[in-house]
Amino acid sequence: MPMDPQIEAMLASAPAWPPVSSMPVEELRAAVRASSLAIPPLDVPLASISDDAIEGPGGPIPIRIYTPAGEGPFPGIVYFHGGGWVVGDLDTQDMIARGLAHGADAVVVSVDYRLSPEHPFPAAPDDAWAATLWTARHAAGLNIDPARLAVAGDSAGANLAAGVALRARDAGAPKLVAQAMFYGSGNYPSEETPSSEEFAKGPLLSRDDVHFFWRQYLADPDKDQHHPLASPIRAASHAGLPPAYMGTAEIDPSRDDGERYAAKLEAAGVPVETRRYAGMVHGFVSWLAFLPGARTAMDDACAFLKRQFAAQN
């Protein structure tokens, strides 16, 4: 399947993006932020959007709370942004959080976890876990029904969501009813896959970029890559995890790892919905405001989440 024509035209008209390893981290973050903020905010009706900060294991964690229109109590979604654990913040994936809040009719708590390389693994998973615990504890004040709590994320954030689901299962609480992941790999790239070879040069995300982000994230890749919070697919067991949605992009070096993680969950008896979006590239859901394929993926993820929430009634 060829690349989506709208994406192809957009990439053809934009300056070529240099390898991420060629840019200082602060410059890379600024470039990603600028490109994200150049897109107008997603225009969906919400009752409120508010910023706050909670106490985390390494200091305050900024959060942004999206509340849908209506009376509630609503389901809750704790959301983790993508960016290779190196870039991204509450603004760069604001459109995904808005889309989830509106489409799933849920309160979304978006988490600005600590970034690498300043704060390497396990800082991001620890912040993600702390934010999930905080959301569960403060559900009433957030107008959230604690019996309908889910986690979600895109790319690196999808790996964080998967790690939180493992941690919640092992701890016995909070009870999560769903995990929704967009193009998360679920695994350290220690071996090549057909998609990592076919799309080694991208577009948008190359195989070298993938390895760069992992090198920033893991202080000791030889050891840390095996930790289930870094590579959820390597957990000893996946039984008892909440139902999962995994949306992958066809033209993405990390596609096969993400689909292998979904298959691993399914083999363990976890209800899984896996969708591969034809002609899409890594990160495509961030173009939700104007790309039909991104809207389709968001609609699919929100329909999945609403089914899991409804099952708790």
Query: CA separation (Å) from 285 to 63, 107, 288?
Result: 21, 19, 5
Name the residue type at position 276: R
Catalytic option among 110, 155, 206, 286: 155
Nearest Cα neighbor of 179 from 191, 197, 163 is: 163
CA-CA-CA-CA torsion sign (136, 137, 140, 143): negative
Nearest Cα neighbor of 241 from 151, 138, 304, 135 is: 151
Active site annotation includes 155: yes
DSSP the chain: -PPPHHHHHHHHHSPPPPPGGGS-HHHHHHHHHHHHHTSPPP----SEEEEEEEEEBTEEEEEEEEE-SSS-PEEEEEEE--STTTS--TTTTHHHHHHHHHHTT-EEEEE----TTTS-TTHHHHHHHHHHHHHHHTTGGGTEEEEEEEEEEETHHHHHHHHHHHHHHHHT-SPP-EEEEES---S---S--HHHHHTTT-SSS-HHHHHHHHHHH-SSHHHHTTSTTT-GGGSS--TTPPPEEEEEEEE-TTHHHHHHHHHHHHHTT--EEEEEEEEEETTGGGGTTT-HHHHHHHHHHHHHHHHHHHTT-
* β-strand partners of 109: 65, 78
Which active-site residues does the annotation give?
Answer: 155
